[in-house]
Amino acid sequence: MKKIINRKNTAAVACAAMMICAAGAVPDSVLSVSMPVQAAEAAEQTSLPQVTGLTSKTPDISSIRLSWNAVSGADGYSIGMRSKGQYPEIADVTDTTYLVTGLPAATRENFKVRAYKIVNGQKVYGDYSVNYNSATNPRPISGLKAQTGNASVSLSWKKVGCSNYRVFMLENGKWKQIAQTDTNSYTVIGLDAGSYKFKVRACKRDDKGANHYGKYSQEITAQAVTVNKVTGLTSKTPNTSSIKLSWNAVSGADGYSVGMRSKGKYPEIADVKGTTYTVKGLPAATRENFKVRAYKIVDGVKIYSDYCENYNSATNPRKVTGVKASDITASTLDLNWKSVGCTSYKVFIYTNGKWKNIASSTVNSCAINGLYAKTTYRFKVRACKTDDKGSNHYGAYSEEITVKTPDHTVEVINGMSYVDGVLLANKTYSLPASYDPKGLTKETSAAFKKMQTAAYKDGISLWVCSGYRSYYDQRYLYNMYCNRDGKAAADKYSARPGYSDHQTGMAIDVNNASDSFGGTREAKWLANNCAKYGFIIRYPKGKEAYTGYQYEPWHIRYVGTPLAQNITNSGLSLEEYFGITSQYKD
């Protein structure tokens, strides 16, 4: 709101003052009234608007040229520059431009300008303009250098005060900005082999976001080369302490750097000219990882390709020693040997004129099953180290050992007869009435389910027609058959109580316990595959004289996979294989 001046009162006071002055005496009270009146009149006569259009240019690194719109009626302008939150006057000009000089390079500055009019010898000011932000230009870039790289050029230069740096490259006869970086270095990548030109300039961003640029650096010419990545890295492990690496040659390469992993990095272990290198002095049976990169020499500097993919390998384990056999039976034995550093051990048997790998063990022992009685066997063992990519590296073979299995022996435990751990139940060997496994054994049941699943995938359905029978169940059946067909006939197809294979809990009649089962798809599948799951055809065709029973293609007996395969492959019945009889005493 404007202050109202009472002109009548003002005139009266002025007149009184003049009269007093004429009388030769001017009281202080009159003077104190007249001076505010003059200031009020000056303020009334002056009404200057705010300065507008304030802008700037930055001609060099130490000055800022300000300019603004003229204010009608103004006698001059006061320029303020911010300092400690205030805007002290730095210049009083009558023009609408002013060059601020002596400023530091690449510094942000803030200005305000206000117009004034001189009234009665006094400056009466208008309001300040809006605060204006600007900055001086950064210094020119110096010390620009280039380092040739693989499909790249690394640039560096001396630091100057600025917000960031702009990198330019000459393309098709024109300079093009290719990068903005906050640091005094930049690597240009993805270049083809050839010559390139670069220059750099600094940029200072002021508070309103406008950019102020320093002068361009001197141009620099740099070379880029291409060094292809190494391919085909592979290895051989000639012994327990070395790995021989080899790779494909890279066209134009002057050499190769070989790195081996250590604490997550690949420090160089060799610089070679050829495409092979043997790493020596390594511990036995240890996994190692390698990378190789090619390089070209440009102006005495090695320019490297990227590393090839990480390659995993391992040294060979040491030779296995101290192989011995223990717990030897007619069909089984245990092999033991001294431990060596490795992932696993491979066990070999000599058969049909060749050494065959029959087992793998992660410990320094192995149980061998499915052997024949009174037979001489030869074994040897070697250690294996598996590297990170799954390749195996083998140590030397142990010395071979020779083992002869004894004849089968029948052992009676708690009234039950076993031959090499297999429970017997036939016309010679009986089971006590108290023996009751309460159904099929867990092993038998699990093996049948596995076989049943495999058969189903082949379109064959198998099920249990008859499984476990107790002593008393068998007594009922046998007596019924004797009453129907007579004892002599019944003894050919039915066991007396206590002599039934079904009482072991390891015998199963499959699908249909009758002669009609023979020749069916199911019977053929069973005969060809049951040994894979630990079963044998208990009463094979043509073996009645040994088993004591007629051919039963539906009747299978669980004995474990190794033994089942041995018995089946031998073409013998269980009685023939173990060298036992199946005859009642009466």
* DSSP β-ladder status, 354-361 and 422-423: unpaired
- What pLDDT sits at residue 45? 55
Give yes or no: 552 in active site.
yes
The phi, psi pair for 457, rounded to 5°, reads: -65, -25
Report the alpha-carbon distance of residue 538 to residue 523 in Å, rounded.
13
Question: What residue type is 115 in one-letter code?
Answer: A
- What pLDDT sits at residue 330? 87
Report the alpha-carbon distance of residue 501 to residue 499 in Å, rounded.
7
- What pLDDT sits at residue 46? 58
Of 328, 322, 331, 262, nearest to 291 by C-alpha is 262
- Let me know: does 148 contact 71? Beta carbons within 8 Å: no
Report the alpha-carbon distance of residue 180 to residue 203 in Å, rounded.
10
- The total of other beta-carbon atoms located within 10 Å of residue 105's CB is 19
- What pLDDT sits at residue 366? 96
Please pick, among 109, 288, 522, 552, the residue that the annotation labels catalytic: 552
Report the alpha-carbon distance of residue 482 to residue 490 in Å, rounded.
6
**What structural domains and CATH numbers belong to the chain?**
7-45 (no CATH), 55-135 (2.60.40.10), 145-224 (2.60.40.10), 234-314 (2.60.40.10), 324-404 (2.60.40.10), 410-578 (3.30.1380.10)
- What pLDDT sits at residue 506? 98
- What pLDDT sits at residue 40? 52
User: How far is the CA of 533 from the CAs of 443, 448, 487, 527, in angstroms?
Assistant: 10, 7, 35, 12
Report the alpha-carbon distance of residue 339 to residue 344 in Å, rounded.
10
Find the helix packing angle between 7-22 and 28-45, rounded to 10°. 140
- What pLDDT sits at residue 503? 97
Per the document, the length of the chain is 586
Find the helix packing angle between 442-457 and 521-529, rounded to 10°. 120
3-class DSSP assignment, residue 453: helix
Per-10-residue mean pLDDT, the chain, length 586: 38 38 42 46 68 94 96 96 95 96 94 96 94 94 94 96 97 96 96 95 93 95 94 95 97 96 96 97 95 94 94 96 94 94 97 95 93 92 94 96 92 93 96 96 98 97 96 96 96 96 97 95 97 98 96 97 92 93 93
The first and second tokens of residue 34, run together, are: 């007249």
- What pLDDT sits at residue 331? 83
Report the alpha-carbon distance of residue 508 to residue 467 in Å, rounded.
5
The first and second tokens of residue 4, run together, are: 């109202």
- What pLDDT sits at residue 41? 53
Q: Kindly report whether the global pTM for this prediction surpasses the value 0.75.
A: no
- What pLDDT sits at residue 433? 95
- What pLDDT sits at residue 409? 87
Report the alpha-carbon distance of residue 268 to residue 475 in Å, rounded.
82
